[in-house]
Amino acid sequence: MAVLLNLIFFLPPVLAAAMLRLPPERRNYTAVAGVGILTLFAVMLFFLPFEVRFAFPEALHLLFWAADIAVIGFFAYAGLRHRSMPVLLLALAQMALYLGVAGSAPAEKTADIVLNETARYMFLIINGVGGAIIIYALHYIQSEAVQQRRKNGFIALLFFFVGVMNMIVAANSIELFFLLFELTTLCSYLLIKFRQDAQSVENAKRALWMNQLGGLAILAAMAASLTAYETIYFDTLLSRANGAAWLLPLAFLALAAFVKAALIPFNSWLLGAMVAPTPVSAILHSATMVKIAPFLILKISGGFDATLSFLVALVGSFVFMTASLFALSKDYFKEVLGYSTIGLLGLMIALAAIADPLAHKAALFLICFHAVAKGALFLQAGILEKHYGVKYISQIRGLADRNPLFVAMIALAFGALTLPPFGVFLGKFMAIELFSQQMQSHPLFSVVLLFSVLGSVVLTLLYFRLLSNFYAKSAQSAGEGTAVDKRYFFPAAGLLAVLLAGAVLSFGTLGITQVLLPLLLLGTAGALVLLFRAKHIDRTKTYHCGEKEQAVLANSYFDFESRYMKRAQVLALVLMAAIVAGGWYV
């Protein structure tokens, strides 16, 4: 079984190397086969009935150490090249702290890799959803106006990214986790600046220095863990910190999770990723990198005390409500998807902060179904741009008349984020129930409950606002476009099939009536909209000289002033500072 585990770690880099040298047609066949093999490995490991633990040989540890130095050195080079003082200074700070921590780490005989149930669950998401995005990217990237070697490099980088993610969810060494965390930052930087225009480079720099803050927080956690508990391994840290009064290492790790999840005030780096090709937005927002954040909180929350658990849940629920409100005020389609991702990541983190098996189950529900649904939505956003030439919600009115199947697929993905019997609804429902239970022992959880309820309501309004525009009637609707290429269609359709399969599996949780009734209502509503379409909405008013008055049948517009974002950022920073202070003084 250790051989299979090593294959899922090291096959993606091998495939990445192959992508660089193969011609496009052979590259595509090899990539699809590689995705299939990785997904099969993930399924096989998912059904493994026991935990796997093993340590890497010493030579590999030296390689990891050299890789850490090389990655931090590259960040310093990037800071000099782009004349970015934040990137350069953070790289120098990371180098100094890493050399100090690595030099003082004790020799410990414990596992570098621990494959537990949560890691196996994450393998399915990373390789299944990430694989669908890679298949989608094979055709998408061919339309980019760059040299073929750069197109091959783009696919190679996506495979390498998947390999890094496979390893990070099984890492038991905090030092190894830091290296992999930094590699995800490196991949994000390279992917976001792929088009190499000024806007892409600027957003890539922002993503780099903000994620460097997360890496610095992990190094601070390592230093604090060595000082107090003489270990750089997660399992040893949690066993020694359990019941302890000093939880600063866990507080710093939580801060790193906040950065990687792009929680407010770090939200701008993830929203800036929208300038990259659509597969980048999809793989950053859905299956892979941002999911490190709730996964990390799930990993360490067993060591939280009541105060730290509440503070982390408070930050998560506050961001859930606030990001949902800001999403409701946006018009750029991918920006709306980005804000809703940030909000739901906050809810996942709030759930993960509760050291309770049911809370962990609810968080995993959210992680899985959000990855599948949001991955499908980002792929469909790419189709909107490529085939219909639209990026804004105000431009998508009437698209249901032109491509009802495509819009029905979008409706299903949004329904999976909103309605029963899909996992995101179940996760939200379980969150409200769990936060209510926490109020019995910690009354301040009522604030977490309030934020969660408000965020859920706002997100529901958001998704129905989006859908209403697809079915709205306007004289100015999206252009005709060409037929959707099957190479775009099938990856998104595959993800939607997984959503439907998950809904069937939820029969045991909700019961037949609770599953079938929402699906019946959703299907009936869609059928009625298509059946009773307003064919002619233009009209001529009295005393007009024959000119038509354009009527728009859609929903209202919601605005949220930018100054409120600054206030939300300040409040979020105060709450995060309280977490670090709580870890120090508790």
What pLDDT shows up at residue 379?
81
| Between 15 and 414, residue with greater pLDDT | 15
What pLDDT shows up at residue 88?
94
pLDDT of 554 higher than 60: no
What pLDDT shows up at residue 62?
86
Partners of residue 171 on adjacent β-strands: 113
3-state secondary structure of 483: coil
3-state secondary structure of 114: strand
Contact 280, 359 (CB under 8 A): no
What pLDDT shows up at residue 349?
92
What pLDDT shows up at residue 178?
94
State how far Cα 255 lies from the chain centre: 17
| Residue whose tokens read 């230093």 | 223
**pLDDT tens digit sequence for 103-144:** 777 777 788 888 888 888 899 889 988 888 999 888 888 877
Least confident of 199-208, 280-289, 367-376, 471-480: 471-480
Q: What value does the mean pLDDT take over residues 369-380?
A: 83
Contact 323, 342 (CB under 8 A): yes
What pLDDT shows up at residue 477?
46
| Between 77 and 548, residue with greater pLDDT | 77
Alpha-carbon Rg for the chain, nearest whole angstrom, is 24
| Between 206 and 400, residue with greater pLDDT | 206
Confidence grade of residue 245 (pLDDT, cut at 50, 70, 90): low
Token output for 451: 């934020």
Contact 97, 219 (CB under 8 A): yes
Which residues are CB-neighbours of 80 under 8 A, at least 6 positions away? Answer: 88
Q: How far apart are CA 303 and CA 299, in angstroms?
A: 9
Q: Which residue, 502, 346, 337, 489, is CA-closest to 420?
A: 502
What pLDDT shows up at residue 75?
94
**Cα dihedral 351→354→355→360 (10° resolution):** -10
Mean pLDDT estimate for the chain: 81
**pLDDT tens digit sequence for 493-522:** 777 787 777 666 665 555 565 556 666 665
